[in-house]
């Protein structure tokens, strides 16, 4: 999304964006964020969700990288999967998926990434098959009352166009 910042804000810019990256589920009901991306449909009555594309995961590494895993230490299904298959034998632990991507791009080891991210990086190649048990639908979620505000509606529409273009 950050690479498409201009497409999101408009030209000239007509909305202000704040990107918050967190592995925990942010509280949209209490306006901790206005728009969020989640790996499941929202269940709260006051939230609205828009189903996006399915997200698949696969291992990615730079050509010639050692065949060892980078483990992301978070409570996500993909992080738990890597922890389970490595059994504590990951060569490096990070607390952010972005750090795993950066290490893989630098030629250090293998990172488990969403395919739409791994395939977009010219310095990486797929280092194994898709992990089917991690496939899930991605949801764009906002507060029911906020989704009709003009600036929120523009942001949602633009985000969806960017994601459609990126295939994610």
Could you tell me the pTM of the whole model? 0.84
Fold agreement between 2-53+135-166 and 57-133: yes
pLDDT of residue 87: 84
**From CA 125, how far away is CA 103, in angstroms rounded?**
14
Q: Please, what is the average pLDDT of the chain?
A: 91
**From CA 8, how far away is CA 122, in angstroms rounded?**
23
**From CA 75, how far away is CA 92, in angstroms rounded?**
17
pLDDT at residue 168 greater than cutoff 60: no
Q: What is the CATH number of domain 57-133?
A: 3.40.190.290
Task: Using alpha carbons, select from 57, 72, 134, 64 the residue that is nearest to residue 102.
Answer: 72
pLDDT at residue 62 greater than cutoff 60: yes
* Domains of the chain, residue spans: 2-53+135-166, 57-133
Specify the CATH architecture of the domain 2-53+135-166. 3-Layer(aba) Sandwich (3.40)
pLDDT at residue 166 greater than cutoff 80: no
Percent of all residues in the chain with a pLDDT value above 70, rounded to a whole number = 99
Cα distance from N-terminal residue to C-terminal residue, the chain: 10
pLDDT one-digit tens code per residue, 126-135: 999 999 999 9
Q: Report the b/e string of 28-63 with b at 16+ CB within 10 A.
A: beeeebbbbbbeeebeeeebbbbebeebbbbbbbbe
**From CA 22, how far away is CA 36, in angstroms rounded?**
10
Check if the beta carbon of residue 167 is closer than 8 Å to that of residue 115.
Answer: no
Q: Name the least confident of 19-23, 41-45, 74-78.
A: 19-23
Residue 55 pLDDT level (bands cut at 50, 70, 90): very high
């Amino acid at each position: 999304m950050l690479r498409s910042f201009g497409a999101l804000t408009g030209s000239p810019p007509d909305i202000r964006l704040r990107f918050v990256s967190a592995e925990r589920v942010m509280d949209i009901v209490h306006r901790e964020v206005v728009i969020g991306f989640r790996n499941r449909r929202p269940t709260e009555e006051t939230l609205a969700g828009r189903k996006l594309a399915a997200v698949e995961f696969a291992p990615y590494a730079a050509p010639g990288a050692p065949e060892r895993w980078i483990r992301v230490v978070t409570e996500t299904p993909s992080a738990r999967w890597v922890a389970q298959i490595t059994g504590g034998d990951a060569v490096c632990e990070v607390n952010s998926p972005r750090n795993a991507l950066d290490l893989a791009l630098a030629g250090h080891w293998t990172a488990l990434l969403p395919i739409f991210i791994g395939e977009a990086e010219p310095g990486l190649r797929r280092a194994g098959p898709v992990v089917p048990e991690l496939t899930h639908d991605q949801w764009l979620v906002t507060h029911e009352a906020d989704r009709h505000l003009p600036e929120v509606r523009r942001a949602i529409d633009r985000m969806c166009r960017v994601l459609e273009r990126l295939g994610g």
